[in-house]
Amino acid sequence: MFTGIVEELGEIVAKEDLADAARFTVRGALVTSDAGHGDSIAVNGVCLTVVEVLGGDSFTADVMAETLDRSSLGALEVGSRVNLERAAALNSRLGGHLVQGHVDATGSVISRSPSENWEVVRISLPDSIARYVVEKGSITVDGVSLTVSALGRDGDGGEFFEISLIPTTLEMTTLGGAAPGTPVNLEVDVIAKYVERLQAAGR
């Protein structure tokens, strides 16, 4: 379990393509500082298991084909920057919201509208998860816990949502440099899915 508060920007320093998976080597001195084999670290919002710690500032993780296909991790290459967060401790503050590290769908950045003190980013919203997203609700974008500032439809009927990013988020996460067309991992608030399931069971 995570909170969606990114601890540091890491980097993919190696990628080994396997038959039905890929092994990534990720550099991140902070998240690796107390990591061990079997620990969980979120990489762009995807919960990965540490296979090996290398040199004190990097770790390796295996990513199965399904995860590569269903998330934006398949598009990562050596040199890609990634958002990193260690699993939450029970005695830590919940600065964001409850994040599982299980990607529900991918969207893509549609546009960016900068202003003096923040930047509004518009992201496509897949039909499969649109019902779980509400204005002023929480959503995780590439591992970052954010508040939905607006919802809408484009001229073709496709849905989108907007997030407003403060300078700290722009500086400390990959969202600061995500150009239009960039794919992003989306995880909706798990509470909404539980509520839907319970309501369906009670019919």
| pLDDT digits 0-9 by tens, 56-102 | 899 999 999 999 999 999 999 999 999 999 999 877 777 778 889 99
The radius of gyration computed from the CA coordinates of the chain, to the nearest angstrom, equals 17
* Residue ranges making up the domain that contains 82: 8-86
Q: Both 59 and 112 in a single domain?
A: no
Q: Are residues 142 and 183 in the same domain?
A: yes
Question: Do 16 and 75 belong to one domain?
Answer: yes
139 belongs to a structural domain: yes
DSSP-assigned states of every residue in 50-89: EEEEETTTEEEEEEEHHHHHHSGGGG--TT-EEEEEEPPP
Q: How far apart are CA 173 and CA 142, in angstroms?
A: 9
**Tens-digit pLDDT profile for residues 159-183:** 999 999 999 999 999 999 999 999 9
- 96 in a structural domain: no
What is the model's pLDDT at position 116? 85
| Mean pLDDT over each residue of the chain, to the nearest integer | 93
Domain membership flag for residue 126: yes
pLDDT more than 90, % of the chain: 80
The answer to the question of residue 175 being in a domain is yes
Query: Which whole number is the average pLDDT over 100-124?
Result: 94
Co-location of 132 and 79 in the same domain: no
Contacts (Cβ under 8 Å, ≥6 apart) of 165 = 118, 119, 120, 121, 146, 175, 176
- pTM, whole model, 2 decimals? 0.92
Q: Is residue 2 part of a domain?
A: no
User: Does residue 138 lie in a domain region?
Assistant: yes
Asked if 14 and 65 sit in the same domain, the reply is yes
Rounded distance, CA 120 to CA 104, Å? 23
Q: Residue 3 falls within a domain, yes or no? A: no
In which band, very low, low, confident or very high, does the pLDDT at 203 lie, cut at 50, 70 and 90?
Answer: low
Structure confidence at residue 115 (pLDDT) = 87
Angle at 28 between CA 106 and CA 180, to 5 degrees: 30
Query: Do 148 and 79 reside in the same domain of the chain?
Result: no
Last residue of a domain, one of 29, 54, 86: 86
Per-residue pLDDT at 90: 79
* Helices and strands in the chain: count of H runs, count of E runs: 4, 12
If asked whether residues 194 and 139 sit together in one domain, one would say yes
Q: Is the pLDDT of residue 187 over 90?
A: yes
Do 13 and 80 reside in the same domain of the chain? yes
φ and ψ at 24, to 5 degrees? -100, 140
187 vs 56, more confident: 187
CATH at residue 82: 2.40.30.20
Q: DSSP assignment of 6-65, as one string?
A: --EEEEEEEEEE-SSEEEEEEE-HHHHTT--TT-EEEETTEEEEEEEEETTTEEEEEEEH
180 and 132 within one domain: yes
Q: Over the stretch 4-30, which tens digit does the pLDDT of each residue have?
A: 999 999 999 999 998 899 999 999 999
Do 112 and 51 share a structural domain? no
The count of domains in the chain is 2
- Beta partners for residue 8, in sequence order: 84
What lies within 8 Å, CB to CB, of 127 at 6+ separation is 159
Tens-digit pLDDT profile for residues 148-158: 999 999 888 89
